[in-house]
Amino acid sequence: MDGRGDGNGRGREEPFILGFMGRPSAKAALSPTPRYYQVQGRACEIARAADHGIVGAEHFFLGLLHDKCMPVFVLSELADLDVVESAVLAIMRGPGYAPPQSHVAPAIRPSVQPWGFRTADAMGDSHVGVEHVFLGIIRDRVTVPARALAGLVDLDILDAAVLAVKNEGWPDVDHHRN
C-alpha cells in the first residue's frame, strides 16, 4: 500500500477541521474560551427571560455588559454603561424591534448565534474570546448594540481602543495560548 488509499479501492480522505459554521478550514478549529461560555450562558438567560428563541447580538452584548470584561472596561472610558444598557433595551422594547430569527426552528431554546468566530478567524487568533464577540457585534452596524452605541460613541474609535488594549496584553483579556 502506498499511503494513498486503504487497500480496498477507496482513497484516504485528508483530515480537515470544520471552521466557522461547519465549513472546512485549513486552520485548526477556533476554541471558545471559558469566559466566552460564561457570557454565552448569561446571554441565554437574558434571551430566555425575554422569551426570545434565538440568542442574538443584543443578548450577547447585554451579557458582556454584565460581565464587566475588558471591552466593557474600554467602553466605560467612552460612555456611561447605564446609558448604553438603557439605549440597547430601549431599542429592544421599541415598536420596530423583532427578536433574532432563524430560518429553521431551533432544537434547543434559546438557540445561540455564534458571535465572535469570524472576527477571531480574521484576526488570526486560535480562540474566540469576549473581545472577539464585542468587536464582531460593533462591527456589524445593523445589530441592536451597534445602532444603540452609534448615538453614544464613535464605533471606529471604540473598535481601535479595544484592539489597542488587546494588543497591549491586558491581563484580563480572556484567551489562552495553544
3-state secondary structure 45-90: HHHHHCCCCEECHHHHHHHHHHHCCHHHHHHHCCCCHHHHHHHHHH
Sign of the alpha-carbon dihedral angle for 70, 73, 78, 82:
positive
Q: ω into residue 171 within 30 of 0, thus cis?
A: no
| pTM (two decimals) | 0.77
- Domains of the chain are 30-168 (1.10.1780.10)
Mean pLDDT for the chain overall: 80
The DSSP code for 36 is H
The band of 58, judged by pLDDT with boundaries at 50, 70 and 90, is very high
Q: What pLDDT does residue 111 have?
A: 61
- Of 33, 65, 74, 63, whose CA–CA distance to 166 is shortest? 74
Q: What is the mean pLDDT of residues 52-72?
A: 92
Find all residues with CB under 8 Å of 177, minimum gap 6, and list them.
none
Return the pLDDT at 169.
Answer: 81
Mean pLDDT for the stretch of residues 152-156: 98
pLDDT at 132 over 60: yes
Question: Which band of pLDDT confidence, cut at 50, 70 and 90, is reported for residue 115?
Answer: confident
Query: Which among 98, 96, 82 is positioned nearest to 152, based on CA atoms?
Result: 82
Is 24 exposed, middle or buried, given 0-12, 13-18 or 19+ CB atoms closer than 10 A? Answer: exposed
Residue 102 pLDDT class (50, 70, 90 cuts): low
Out of 24-33, 35-44, 128-137, pick the least confident.
Answer: 24-33
